[in-house]
Structure 1
Amino acid sequence: MNLAELGFWRIARRSPENVAAVEPDGTTVTAGDLLARVNRITRLLRDLGLTGGDRVALVAANEVAALETVLACHQAGWYLVPVNTALSAAEIAHIIGDCAPGAVVTSARYADTVRAALDQAGVAAERRFATGPADGFRVLAEAATPYSGEWAEDRAPGAFMAYTSGTTGRPKGVLRALAAGDPDDVYAAGSAWQLGMFEVEPFAAGTHLVTSPLSHTAVNGLALASLHLGHRVVLMERFDATGMLRLVERERVTTTHVVPTQMHRLLALDPAVRGSFDVSSMRNLIHGAGPCPPAVKRGVIDWFGPVIYEYYGASEAAGTVISAREWLARPGSVGRAQPGTAVKIMDEHGRELGPGERGRVYLELGPRAFEYRGDPEKTRSSVLDGWVTVGDLGHLDEDGYLFLLGRTAEVIVSGGVNVYPAEVEAALLEHPGIADAGVVGVPDREWGEIVCAVIQPADDARERAAAPGFREEVVAFCRERLAGFKLPRRIEIVAALPRGANGKLRKHLLLPEIDGRPTG
């Protein structure tokens, strides 16, 4: 592999006529056109005063304009802050207020929610851009048109700044120092490392299919890495199992990224429907973002062949990877440490544990340490002598393969998306009819886990809580405060929650309360 041939910007200059991306409606964009758009956006935002280390927030659908914005940031030395499009205005406003972006780009369909968030955060009108016409936003393409699409000067590598949970349950930015050097060289090396662990080869007539929202850092990162390796990127507006198979066949897709919920839905299709599509082009089907039931994984391997690759990691540090053949020999494992990194298990005293001993999973930070923006206490509590934990429990076998056991941080992983109980509990406790609430994840065949709220009604609301319609009322109340994926899918009413003498909720005692009861 010659790294000097890789990197989107140099590939686009060398082969501008090649198709680089395909919109959800089938519109193709050549590498030359994509590069010109990226350069115009770079100059537009520089004209607004953005300099190295500034942030650009992106609240966008799966469309090529989202990739353009990321590539502009990554060649201009800016942090791209991907914001989940399912968040509420208040949740988006928190992230915007915290990262203080020099510009915000959104898709027109999310303009109403984002406008409310930007009004709360006080973002100036000239720094608001939409990918299509929307009240209160400048159309990104129109604003960028007057600027030159020629090669941009003074280029520097940028980076993602993803948001994850802080000590209060509010999202915190994972901030790393920017790399130095030529962006093409930096991203060529990074992409070759990232996709190389899944045995993805550069060029090789590659086509990468995006099935999940680009607002997820792993999804966005794999799409960009594919461009940097000379593959074209095909975008799905939203996941649909039959639609995915149709695109795999039509576009001869070679790589994709899915979450376990999507794998479950693919297997749920009628066998005749599954068999009607040619998926033989698939060489690397990558999955992560949550535990996958072994039966589901075996089913996908039986269907697609030994092309399935799983990873485990976090925004904070690289983790593990495992191929289908390795997994079949060690079912349930999430693999060994990714190339150039390490994983170890430690007890509560920071003592490293041996094979088979259960403890907290720590990932090696490597040369580019991070910090949680604005939360030094969470940084200190999560990092130990160059290693970081996100609260997962597990053990290693004699060959260094990691097996996960659970999450000490109580994060609920539903459909591949993290839900933090503290946020849901805070919304529930705003309801005047709720005296106390606890939130836990309960197993679900399709979603992996669903959000379950255990509620203690206020004294004057006990009769109302026992009546039909109360649960729907609570969900409607939460919908005004939380993104849809955080809403309780199950609500149980109890006389009192199990709290200790110190007032701390004993969440493990909530599970017997809900075991065996029907969904509310």
Structure 2
Amino acid sequence: MSRLYQLAGVAADAIAVDDGVRSLTWAELDDGSQRVGNGLEALGAAPGSHVAICISNRTEFVEAVIGAWRAGCAYTPLKTGWTADEVGAVLDDAATSIVVTDRDGARSAAAARGIPIVDVAAGFDTWLADQSDVPLPDDRAGYKLPYTSGTTGRPKGVVLSGSGTTPFAAGWAGLARWAEIVHLPGEGTHLFLSRLFNGAPQTFGFGAMARGATLRILPRWEPLAALEALSRPEVTSTIMVPTMFRQLLALPDIDRSVRPNPNLHRILHGGEPCPTSIKAAFADWFGEVLVEYYGFTEGGMTVVGADEWRSRPGTVGRPFAGMEVHVLDAAGADVPPNVEGTVYFQQSSGQRRFHYQGEVDKTEAAHQGTAFTVGDIGYLDDEGFLYLCGRSADLILVAGVNVYPAEIEQAIADVPGIADLCAVGGPDPERGEAIVLHITLAEDTAIDEVLAAIDGAANERLAPYKRPTSVVVIDEIPRDQTSKVIRRELRDPLWADAPQFATRPPSF
């Protein structure tokens, strides 16, 4: 039987994960995750069953993920801010067998469907102690089934090629290789500043653990507390989004002539475009330790280190080994260097990377042969470095989290008094983008009543980061002759006076 501490090459009594309230040694994490896996089986899970994990930033998240993985289950980390409706959509789509959570929305969604719940906030340690500690078979091949919002506004499952075929130990080693690609150290502490459900931070955080680092979890993002944590000498790596850079740079009374922590060897960042001025200022403060990545749930990733970025400001790098990047025109042909087009990734093996669960049409639309895209626009320079002109036309990126307008519009569309509506992203100096809702009113409508109803619908149906921050009343939503909304006519004026957001998508 493979022990976690043996796989990570560390002592059994070393600290594996710590959230400031509860900490686990590697031996305790190994035992706890085995018990979680056995407990899931006792509740009816079997290899291939789906387990939804909706847990805030605490050590139990790590136990639950590794436990479900070792049990051979498909597991999905869910956003903790989702409403019961949003969670329920995933539970239905994935045919979820068990929900592990400390969140009210997930509890309500599971209870409404009669799905067994493991409540992390109430009696988890007692429940864990009651489970069998018999080792789970090493050949179990659990896997992560991530969900991302689709163009219909509902999350879609992304099934990666080979899911359910890799035994746990090999998968754990694969995480270590991901960490090696971006040069995350295998010693010291990896500081987790994001939400644990976030895809890339989770992958790289677990990857650092797989290399032997301790995972230190902050309960929430708070700039001053984060700076204090980053300054601790045991912290050797972390992952951030540019919004965090901005907020740390804005802290008053900080001496930025002194590097906060000489032992901090690597800061990964991605999730949203980063203005060059912000990145340069942050690198001047923290040192040449920044590594930028560009990727998405469906797969594909480019990486650029500090030196390469300094000589090519704005690039998001080149693809890592085993992946190719292409920029294609509307006909699907490669465009010359320095010419804009749609960014596609392709595995060097020639195999398809993923499919959307139950969404054949959307899977095909995302592919040109075996190459795939999420619709981003960019170009390659003469040396193969990728530059992004921006995100796909409709996508709104709020503090590094993807929000699709269709989901906002679907949640608000039935509000009485709204004749038509369109959600777009506008500039927000703190979060990168904010959601701006444009509406037209039906005749004889009281605007105050409509605004109150919009707030009510958004609060009931949407997570906080998806709720509109502004509502603009206009005479007509611009549409083309096929009745498709021309979003750029509403979006572009919002960005006209925001030159610092140089990576905003152009209109085509």
User: Same fold judged by TM-score > 0.5?
Assistant: yes
Of 19, 23, 30 in structure 2, the residue corresponding to residue 23 of structure 1 is: 19
Identity of aligned residues (%): 32
Of 429, 439, 442 in structure 2, the residue corresponding to residue 445 of structure 1 is: 429
Of 145, 153, 177 in structure 2, the residue corresponding to residue 161 of structure 1 is: 145
- 1:345–1:424 distance in 2 versus 1, CA, 3 Å: same
Residue 504 of structure 1 corresponds to 484
Note if contact 1:327-1:333 (Cα within 8 Å) is conserved in structure 2.
Answer: yes
Equivalent residues in 2 for 1:8-407, closer than 5 Å:
8-11=4-7, 15-25=11-21, 27-107=22-102, 110=103, 112-120=104-112, 122-124=113-115, 127-133=116-122, 139-176=123-160, 177-178=162-163, 180-188=165-173, 190-202=174-186, 205-250=187-232, 252-272=234-254, 278-365=260-347, 367=351, 369-407=353-391
- 1:248–1:509 distance in 2 versus 1, CA, 3 Å: closer
Of 471, 475, 492 in structure 2, the residue corresponding to residue 491 of structure 1 is: 471
Question: How many angstroms does 1:282 deviate by?
Answer: 0.8
Two-structure CA RMSD over aligned residues (Å): 2.3
Q: Match of 1:50, SS?
A: coil
- The answer to whether 1:418 aligns with 2:402 is yes
**d(CA) in 2 for partners of 1:485, 1:274:** 31
Residue 478 of structure 1 corresponds to 458
Question: How many angstroms does 1:181 deviate by?
Answer: 5.0
**d(CA) in 1 for partners of 2:259, 2:460:** 41
Residue 503 of structure 2 corresponds to none
Residue 501 of structure 2 corresponds to none
Q: Match of 1:371, SS?
A: strand
Question: How many angstroms does 1:149 deviate by?
Answer: 2.9
**d(CA) in 2 for partners of 1:307, 1:50:** 43
Question: How many angstroms does 1:515 deviate by?
Answer: 6.6
**d(CA) in 2 for partners of 1:254, 1:123:** 44
Q: 1:63-110: CA deviations, max 9, x gaps?
A: 111000111122222221011111111111101111112211012xx2
**d(CA) in 2 for partners of 1:400, 1:434:** 48
Note if contact 2:188-2:236 (Cα within 8 Å) is conserved in structure 1.
Answer: yes
Residue 504 of structure 2 corresponds to none
* Equivalent AA in structure 2 for residue 483 of structure 1: A
Note if contact 1:8-1:229 (Cα within 8 Å) is conserved in structure 2.
Answer: no
- 1:438–1:374 distance in 2 versus 1, CA, 3 Å: same
Q: 1:167-200: CA deviations, max 9, x gaps?
A: 4121100012325454223321x12321122222
- 1:354–1:88 distance in 2 versus 1, CA, 3 Å: same
Question: How many angstroms does 1:481 deviate by?
Answer: 1.3
**d(CA) in 1 for partners of 2:261, 2:496:** 40
**d(CA) in 2 for partners of 1:393, 1:234:** 36
- 1:246–1:275 distance in 2 versus 1, CA, 3 Å: farther
**d(CA) in 1 for partners of 2:180, 2:8:** 21
Q: 1:19-59: CA deviations, max 9, x gaps?
A: 1111233x432111111101111111122332222211011
Question: How many angstroms does 1:115 deviate by?
Answer: 2.4
Q: TM-score, normalised by structure 1?
A: 0.90
**d(CA) in 1 for partners of 2:256, 2:60:** 32
**d(CA) in 1 for partners of 2:150, 2:8:** 39
Note if contact 1:360-1:392 (Cα within 8 Å) is conserved in structure 2.
Answer: yes
**d(CA) in 1 for partners of 2:56, 2:343:** 34
Note if contact 2:233-2:261 (Cα within 8 Å) is conserved in structure 1.
Answer: no
**d(CA) in 2 for partners of 1:83, 1:158:** 17
Question: How many angstroms does 1:11 deviate by?
Answer: 4.1
- 1:362–1:114 distance in 2 versus 1, CA, 3 Å: same
Note if contact 1:265-1:446 (Cα within 8 Å) is conserved in structure 2.
Answer: yes
Gaps of 5+ in 1: 1-5, 134-138
**d(CA) in 1 for partners of 2:5, 2:79:** 27
Instruction: Identify the structure with the greater helix proportion.
Output: 1
**d(CA) in 2 for partners of 1:392, 1:7:** 41
Question: How many angstroms does 1:472 deviate by?
Answer: 5.4
**d(CA) in 2 for partners of 1:348, 1:237:** 45
Q: 1:470-493: CA deviations, max 9, x gaps?
A: 645523431111111011112211
Q: Match of 1:272, SS?
A: coil
Note if contact 2:271-2:294 (Cα within 8 Å) is conserved in structure 1.
Answer: yes
- 1:515–1:166 distance in 2 versus 1, CA, 3 Å: closer
**d(CA) in 2 for partners of 1:13, 1:317:** 28
Note if contact 1:442-1:451 (Cα within 8 Å) is conserved in structure 2.
Answer: yes
Question: How many angstroms does 1:392 deviate by?
Answer: 0.2
**d(CA) in 1 for partners of 2:405, 2:43:** 39
Note if contact 1:164-1:174 (Cα within 8 Å) is conserved in structure 2.
Answer: yes
Q: How many residues align?
A: 494
Note if contact 2:40-2:68 (Cα within 8 Å) is conserved in structure 1.
Answer: no
- The answer to whether 1:454 aligns with 2:438 is yes
Q: Match of 2:316, SS?
A: coil
**d(CA) in 2 for partners of 1:75, 1:439:** 42
**d(CA) in 2 for partners of 1:13, 1:320:** 28
Q: Match of 2:232, SS?
A: helix
Q: Match of 1:459, SS?
A: coil
Q: TM-score, normalised by structure 2?
A: 0.92
